[in-house]
Amino acid sequence: MIKKFNLLFVCSLLFFSVKAQVPNTLSAADKVFGLSKFWQEVNYNFIFLHKVDRKMWDSTYKKMITDVQRTKNDYEYYREMQKFCALLKDGHTNVYFPKGIEQMNTMFGDYRLFIENIDDRAIIVRTNLSKKNEIPVGSEIIEVNGMSTQKYIDEAVAPYISSSTDYVLKDMCISGLLRGMEGDRYHIKIKKPGGKVAAFTLTHRATEEKEVYPDFEPARKLLDFSWQQNQVAYMALNSFGDKKIDSLFIEKLPELYKARGLIIDLRYNGGGNTEVGTAILKYLTNDTILFGSKSRSRMHIPSYKAWGKFMEIPDTTGNAWAKKAWLSYNDSYYYDFEYSADTFKLDAKRIVVPTVILTGHNTASAAEDFLIYADNQKHMKKMGANTFGSTGQPFMFGLPGGGSARICTKQDTYPDGREFVGYGIKPDMEVKPTLNDYIQKTDPVMAKAIDYLEQQLK
């Protein structure tokens, strides 16, 4: 009995020593300053402030002045800051932990689990090799810490994640369902593909086993090219963050000129530089003029805000000065960036054939700009799922203790004013992979694109 007690005592000490490694460097004044700094910069710079319930925003700030001072360590403080940030519902507005705080997501000592959103369910898509029979791929997590998975997400995960769209929020909640600090413990129940339910207690700590099942997919090339049936060329443009992709594309032109149809895969393109994408797009259209997104940012002139306090809406009728003052007082005065279409001269041969552009939730930022430029191309169709639905110009700044934050300062829209931030760019043809597609390793989006082009080429 004494041996058992000693063992339990040692284990408890080990557990709490892990917890004790969390930094605790911030004073109460630091915490309030960081909170106030973020609140201030949002009020001054956030482009979508007009979509925020200001009474809720300010009352939450007031409440958090007390809450952040009660946090026990730097981790808890930054979690509260992330929760505050998430109220803004913007994918380009975030709070980041200091370097000394690192969360764990997939490692639980003897177990390693990778979770993805498939059919709006938390599906285990990969494990460490030794556990592949105990936790089969395709198993669904149905309960976490005594709550249904959805309830756990609603209460413990979603409130801390900043996202412009509900569907990306769901993806992030599920992929980070069990994200936490080393030593954090989770009691989960899974439903295996055969229907059997099993329970596990998982504690975050490093997993020594390196092998996983199924194997990790090979790293995606910057540009991937292959031929499909009926002289259809497949080209994955996986990032616009490296200008090298433009030269890689030029190298493929002799091949591309043979194509009767074209598939452009942007599903894993998280963005980069818009100009890198348009340098490729100009080869895929007969046009010499392309229309990109329009942009605006907030403009703040303190005197106009002061005058606006005394203005009412009727005062703005037919009075540009009064309108500017009223808008300034209500934080709704904007600067529209100079807009003009992109014109270019290209002597090279173009590739204008029936084209399908594959999109998904990870198609973001500059990749979304690519789609806006391609919006009116009649030979192009978008296929797959809605895009990420977030772009802009973030303002970066530091926070106490080495953390940081960013705030979106620029709104981009279609040239005609249609919004896509907060909604995503919708495909012309939606194709939603199923759990069975994942298990069978089939790509229904690709299959649909090939089938569509086959019909177009008849």
Domain with residue 377: its CATH number is 3.90.226.10
Strand ranges (E), 204-260: 212-213, 223-228, 232-237
Separation in Å, CA 194 to CA 3, 136, 137, 139, 267: 41, 10, 11, 9, 31
Q: What is the pLDDT of residue 21?
A: 74
**Same domain (yes/no): 205, 245:** no
373 lies in some domain: yes
Q: Taking the CB of residue 21, how many other CB atoms lie within 10 A of it?
A: 12
Helix (H) or strand (E) run with residue 94 in it: strand 94-96
**Same domain (yes/no): 138, 203:** yes
* φ, ψ (nearest 5 deg) of residue 142: -105, -10
* Domain coverage including residue 312: 297-336
Instruction: Report the candidate in 366, 365, 372, 393 with the shortest Cα–Cα distance to residue 47.
Output: 393
19 lies in some domain: no
- Residue 161 belongs to domain with CATH number: 2.30.42.10
**Same domain (yes/no): 283, 303:** no
Q: Taking the CB of residue 301, how many other CB atoms lie within 10 A of it?
A: 13
9 lies in some domain: no
Sign of the torsion formed by the C-alpha atoms of 196, 199, 205 and 207: negative
**Same domain (yes/no): 244, 364:** yes
- Encoded tokens for 336: 């529209």
**Same domain (yes/no): 377, 270:** yes
**Same domain (yes/no): 167, 301:** no
Which of 213, 237, 272 represents a domain boundary (last residue)? 213
40 lies in some domain: no
**Same domain (yes/no): 237, 204:** no
253 lies in some domain: yes
**Same domain (yes/no): 131, 151:** yes
**Same domain (yes/no): 136, 269:** no
**Same domain (yes/no): 124, 188:** yes
**Same domain (yes/no): 177, 228:** no
Q: What averages of pLDDT result for each successive group of 10 residues across the chain (458 residues)?
A: 38 43 93 99 98 98 99 98 99 96 97 97 98 98 99 99 98 98 98 98 98 95 97 98 98 98 98 95 96 97 97 96 97 96 92 99 96 97 98 96 98 96 98 91 97 96
Which of 213, 244, 278 represents a domain boundary (last residue)? 213
**Same domain (yes/no): 207, 228:** no
Which of 193, 213, 233 represents a domain boundary (last residue)? 213
Q: What is the pLDDT of residue 10?
A: 39
302 lies in some domain: yes
171 by Cβ neighbours in 10 Å (0-12 / 13-18 / 19+) ranks as: buried
Q: Say how many domains are in the chain.
A: 3
In angstroms and rounded to an integer, the radius of gyration of the C-alpha atoms of the chain is 26
* Euclidean distance between CA atoms 148 and 113, whole angstroms: 18
95 lies in some domain: no
Separation in Å, CA 74 to CA 23, 161, 417: 6, 18, 42
